[in-house]
Structure 1
Amino acid sequence: MKYNNINYIDKLDQLQTAFVYSTKLAEAIGVSRRTLLNWRQKPESISAEYRLDIDVLYCRHFLIPEWDDPKQSFEAVLLPDDMPHNKALFLPFLRRLSYGTIEIETDMAKADFDNIIDGKNMPKNMDRQTFLEGFNAFITHKQLWQKIVEHGEPMPITVDSIKTLHADFMRGIHDNAGFFSTKIRVMGRLEGVQTTEPEDIEEEMIRWVYKEAKAVTLDAIAKAHAYFILIHPFGDGNGRVGRALVMAQCLNARLMPPVFDGKNRAMYYAAMQHAMKHGRYAPLVRLFYEAAKLD
């Protein structure tokens, strides 16, 4: 993502032109005008949380309009023929995919994730929840890969299999692992988006499965993902389950799954919000194709 190569003072300067008044820019980021002035003097003082807020805002105002072209077309990104049984190719991919989905939602360091996967024991000074988040993510993605790719068994995507995915990610972390939420859920960084009412989740998920489960193009899978996250059926772990469903749908169709991580997280949030609030999917579709390219 090109916004990663722009320093934060330049991003703030460009955003200032969009908001005109520094008070409005500060309000959009969620800080005081004084904080903006301090950042300009000491950009290294901008915390990771606010760096992400600035990046998301930058994407919304400058990249989303550039990418919002419904006439754009992309070539399908197929799963490489030599990848399924080549550990030198697919194991690094699985690690990157698994850490990426955790990196988007938690502050887990890459070194901690590597220690979890390589050591298979809880590293010192790590709490049990952090360990399980990393371990469950890698094992769940690995099992999906083994079932669909190595054993040649497409994953049937049903309401029950989605609940099982959630249980796999959240086992030992939450008591409600594998069960739909009975409470109102908040979207976090996806502002202004209303999730499905708790009493309607089961019916809406049945509808999602009927309409979206058999998607076989990256365009359709991207739109299905936005729809799933909009439903937000679980109390926690919706992003992890939703991105695992993307992986399963792609592997079922022999497509290369997109990888979402810290490098494209801001655009992921911005494109998802654009799709949910405005019904315009072009930026999200483009992001899926960009994220599916092998480096």
Structure 2
Amino acid sequence: MSVRLLSLFFMNVRQKLEVIQKMGGFTQTELANKIGVSFVALNSWWNQKSTPRPKKLALIDEFYLEITGQKIIPEDQLEAKKQALKNRGYKYTENNVAIILMSKFMTDQKIRDELFLRLTYHSNKIEGSTLSERETAAILFDNVVIPGKSLTEHLEAKNHQEALFYMFEYILDGGRIDEKFVLRLHSILMNGILHEAGFYRNHGVRIVGVYLPTANYLKIPDLMPELMMEAAKSEKDIIKLATNVHSRFEKIHPFSDGNGRVGRLLLNAMLLKANLAPAIIRQEKKQLYYTYLYKAQTTEDHSLLEDFICDSIVEGFDILERKYVQDFKNLILKKKIILAKEEMQIIDLLLFGMNSIRVSDVEDFFAVSKFTAQIYLSSLEKKGLIKRHGPKSSGIYTLLDFNVL
């Protein structure tokens, strides 16, 4: 048994809860919700006035192992998450070309602004920015100067926004992920902040807070082309590849500053290239992110980091699809379409997970006959909400004109 696992058995409930709260970035109310108890019950455990029941103790231990990077993620569970994300991304392809997702992010200003704000605020906050999300928004969209905040922090926000514009347009134009792309990202991010913007470091560095040797600066010109060749590969499991490249990039630490922000942009460029939404790594999850990143860099186990990235991608999709769902609802209202309960549930399945559905799926979901399932789908088809591809009995159905809403 490892020292860290052994320590679990010598910690009291409050000590475990404190670790979970600190590393997970939870408030006590959020922590209570995660465990599935009231704030009063959690507070009683915290102050050692009562003891959790065995099931809740087991749940606290499970969360503790997850937070500290000791939990083992079942392979089938991780694969199911990845497949669900691929299905969400598949909705935005046209003739197997991954351009619809990025064009939606770039052409809809409301979606783009929300996405750029989240990515900029959280990435900079992880690196120590003192700007609030509201202050970041004022700088990005209104060019406001925030009193009491440094010029560097203003530049970090505007430069990150500019780097995002560059990255999205570059990927949308079919640009290749290579060394030139990474150096350009760094040049934009560090413009006016760092003299060596756009150039690899020529001296040694260390990562604060962990013992993780970075690459000798003399080897960086050889290591980076090799890493970029890996990043440019077309792999079936893109999340695994992007996670691996991200952890290796941060371990190489090719620049004197800005490695975290460039690394997260590179990660997202790879995801966008595969028609996945960008991963929004929230600053509240900083300790969790660093714990899983360190485990990936020091062991052969990348599963916790992959799982974390999957959850972060979900947030990116949510930004896009909140507006899409509203647009779809508005379409139904505008056409004054009346939907039965089963029809609404089928639409929800197509909106929130399945990119297509078959008669057999409807049979299984509602536990009805094939004839009844065909009636549900035919009704939606007649109402102009879904489209059939193939024979009536064995074809697949998709939302109508998903890409042009």
Name which structure has the greater RCO, CA cutoff 8 Å, separation 6+. 1
Match of 1:231 in 2: 252
Going from structure 1 to structure 2, the CA distance change for 1:70 and 1:183 (only over 3 Å counts) comes to farther
Going from structure 1 to structure 2, the CA distance change for 1:182 and 1:60 (only over 3 Å counts) comes to farther
Match of 2:395 in 1: none
Is 1:88 the counterpart of 2:107 in the alignment?
A: no
Match of 1:125 in 2: 148
Going from structure 1 to structure 2, the CA distance change for 1:186 and 1:101 (only over 3 Å counts) comes to same
When the two structures are superposed, what TM-score results if normalisation uses the length of structure 1?
0.75
- Per-residue CA deviation, residues 19-73 of structure 1 (Å, 9 max, x unaligned), is xxxxxxxxxxxxxxxxxxxxx99xxxxxxxxxxxxxxxx8677452224444531
Match of 2:272 in 1: 251
CA distance in 1, matches of 2:136, 2:222: 36
Is 1:218 the counterpart of 2:223 in the alignment?
A: no
State the AA in 2 paired with 1:284.
Answer: L
**CA contact under 8 A between 1:272 and 1:284: conserved in structure 2?**
yes
- Per-residue CA deviation, residues 210-231 of structure 1 (Å, 9 max, x unaligned), is 2223355112111110011111
CA distance in 2, matches of 1:13, 1:101: 28
| Stretches of structure 1 lacking an aligned partner (at least 5 in a row) | 1-8, 17-39, 42-57
CA distance in 1, matches of 2:13, 2:129: 25
Going from structure 1 to structure 2, the CA distance change for 1:10 and 1:94 (only over 3 Å counts) comes to farther
Q: Which residue, 200, 209, 212 being the options, matches 1:180?
A: 200
Is 1:65 the counterpart of 2:84 in the alignment?
A: no
State the AA in 1 paired with 2:156.
Answer: E
Match of 2:182 in 1: 162
| Stretches of structure 2 lacking an aligned partner (at least 5 in a row) | 1-11, 20-45, 48-62, 93-100, 319-405
Q: Which residue, 194, 201, 222 being the options, matches 2:213?
A: 194
Deviation at 1:186, TM superposition (A): 1.2
Match of 2:124 in 1: 102
Q: Which residue, 115, 127, 136 being the options, matches 2:159?
A: 136
Going from structure 1 to structure 2, the CA distance change for 1:96 and 1:215 (only over 3 Å counts) comes to farther
Going from structure 1 to structure 2, the CA distance change for 1:196 and 1:86 (only over 3 Å counts) comes to same
Going from structure 1 to structure 2, the CA distance change for 1:62 and 1:248 (only over 3 Å counts) comes to closer
Going from structure 1 to structure 2, the CA distance change for 1:211 and 1:13 (only over 3 Å counts) comes to closer
**CA contact under 8 A between 2:250 and 2:263: conserved in structure 1?**
yes
CA distance in 1, matches of 2:139, 2:213: 35
Deviation at 1:248, TM superposition (A): 1.1
State the AA in 1 paired with 2:190.
Answer: M
RMSD: 2.5
